[in-house]
């Protein structure tokens, strides 16, 4: 469960976030904006939120999807699979989003609240990886928490801040 106090902390963290690898973020945010156009037809805040979730879930496929789209040879199965993820997101999570902080809360719920368990109690790498608010610790593919495992993907808060740093406004 995420409380009002948790949301207040998340807002403060997002306002004060520092991006660790600006070169990586610039590349990733460019891909996210391209993915937003592929999925939505235009860049909107809702479209960016959707693309952030898809990017975080399937980062390894995104360059191929963008390339295929540009070349006009898109893999319909991959696009449909991604649209199914978006549908799940829309049905269960996006209805609660009024602003960026709500998005970050819902993104953490989407990934799971396991990082908030007392014996773990770290900031979710899904949201904060690549910032000063996450150092290490991650659930492995087997569902067990590994305290020395480092999430190498950028978190959605870092990616969203990177998009704003590029000059996005709605």
Query: Could you read off the pLDDT of 118-158 as tens digits, one per residue?
Result: 789 999 999 999 999 999 999 998 999 999 999 999 999 99
Q: Is residue 13 within 8 Å of 125, Cβ to Cβ?
A: no
**CB-based contacts of 134-141 (< 8 A; 24+ apart in sequence):** 139/112, 139/114
User: Which pLDDT score is estimated for 83?
Assistant: 83
Q: How much is the mean pLDDT over the chain?
A: 90
Q: Is residue 65 within 8 Å of 78, Cβ to Cβ?
A: yes
**How far apart are the C-alpha atoms of 123 and 136, rounded to whole Å?**
9
Query: Could you read off the pLDDT of 88-103 as tens digits, one per residue?
Result: 888 888 888 999 999 9
Quickly count: other Cβ atoms within 10 Å of residue 169's Cβ. Answer: 5
Question: Count of residues for the chain?
Answer: 170
Grouping H, G, I as helix, E, B as strand and the rest as coil, residue 59 is: helix
Residue 54 has pLDDT above 70, yes or no: yes
User: Which pLDDT score is estimated for 60?
Assistant: 87
**What is the percentage of the chain residues whose pLDDT exceeds 70?**
98
Of the pLDDT bands very low, low, confident and very high (cuts 50, 70, 90), residue 74 is low
pTM here is 0.91
CA atoms within 13 A on the CB side of 68: 14
Residue 155 is given by DSSP the state P
Of the pLDDT bands very low, low, confident and very high (cuts 50, 70, 90), residue 45 is very high
Grouping H, G, I as helix, E, B as strand and the rest as coil, residue 5 is: helix
What is the average per-residue pLDDT within 29-47?
91
């Amino acid at each position: 469960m995420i409380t009002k106090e948790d949301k207040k902390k998340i807002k403060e963290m997002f306002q004060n976030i520092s991006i660790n690898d600006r070169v990586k973020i610039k590349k990733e945010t460019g891909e996210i904006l391209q993915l937003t156009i592929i999925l939505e037809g235009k860049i909107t805040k809702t479209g960016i939120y959707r693309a952030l979730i898809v990017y975080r879930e399937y980062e390894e496929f995104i360059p191929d999807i963008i390339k295929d789209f540009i070349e006009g040879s898109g893999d319909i199965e991959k696009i449909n699979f991604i649209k199914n993820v978006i549908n799940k997101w829309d049905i269960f999570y996006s209805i609660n989003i009024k602003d960026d902080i709500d998005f970050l809360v819902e993104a953490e719920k989407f990934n799971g609240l396991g990082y908030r368990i007392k014996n773990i109690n770290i900031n979710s790498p899904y949201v904060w990886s690549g910032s000063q608010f996450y150092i290490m610790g991650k659930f492995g593919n087997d569902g067990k928490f590994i305290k020395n495992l480092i999430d190498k993907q950028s978190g959605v808060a870092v990616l969203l801040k990177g998009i704003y740093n590029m000059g996005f406004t709605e």
